[in-house]
Amino acid sequence: MPQFSPLPKSSQPLEKGLHKDGRRLTPQRLRVLHLFEDLGSGRHLSAEDVHHKLVESNTKVSLATVYRTLRLLVEMGFLHQLELSENGHRFELANDDHPDHHHLVCIRCGRTEEFECDEVLEAGKLAAERIGFQLVESTLNVRAICPSCTPK
């Protein structure tokens, strides 16, 4: 079982942002963010996954607190939220290194894999320009069935 160190790398920006909004830096908020930092970019977890991993590491936290914390960390820009119709939401560490990435999502188990595609980005730019929009980011969720869920 993974053990998480007490203070995540982003504790100062998190603490500063929370205090600015009149909120406290709680151990649970730190541990949720630290979990994503330890896992690194490209990992997509549901709230239940986060809760399970925290409980495995002997962190006492309710599922409701995990949901509230994930929403807060998305609002503050530390995490990105993927909305998946069949399997709820997945969360990933916000990463400025590759903001325009895409996801293959298994419609049966929710497994989520990232991929990059310049053609998708270019299509987004062209569509935005044609309509007069300014492209901010480009993401695509491709719904599929992963190898584990494909009948043999």
The pLDDT of residue 3 is 44
Structure confidence at residue 11 (pLDDT): 61
- Give the domain ranges of the chain: 1-96, 98-152
The fourth-level CATH superfamily of domain 98-152 is Ferric-uptake regulator, C-terminal dimerisarion domain (3.30.1490.190)
Whole-model pTM: value is 0.69
What does each of the 152 residues of the chain score in pLDDT, given as a tens digit? 444 444 444 466 766 766 676 777 788 888 998 898 888 877 888 999 999 999 999 989 999 999 999 999 988 888 888 876 665 788 988 876 666 778 888 888 888 888 888 888 888 899 999 999 988 877 788 888 999 998 87
Do residues 101 and 116 lie in contact, with contact meaning Cβ atoms separated by under 8 Å? yes
User: How far is 54 from 76, CA to CA, in rounded Å?
Assistant: 21
The upper half-sphere exposure of residue 125, i.e. CA atoms within 13 Å in the direction of its Cβ, equals 7
Tokens 């997945």 -> residue: 90
CA geometry: angle 34, 35, 41, nearest 5 deg: 95
Fold classified for 1-96: Arc Repressor Mutant, subunit A (1.10.10)
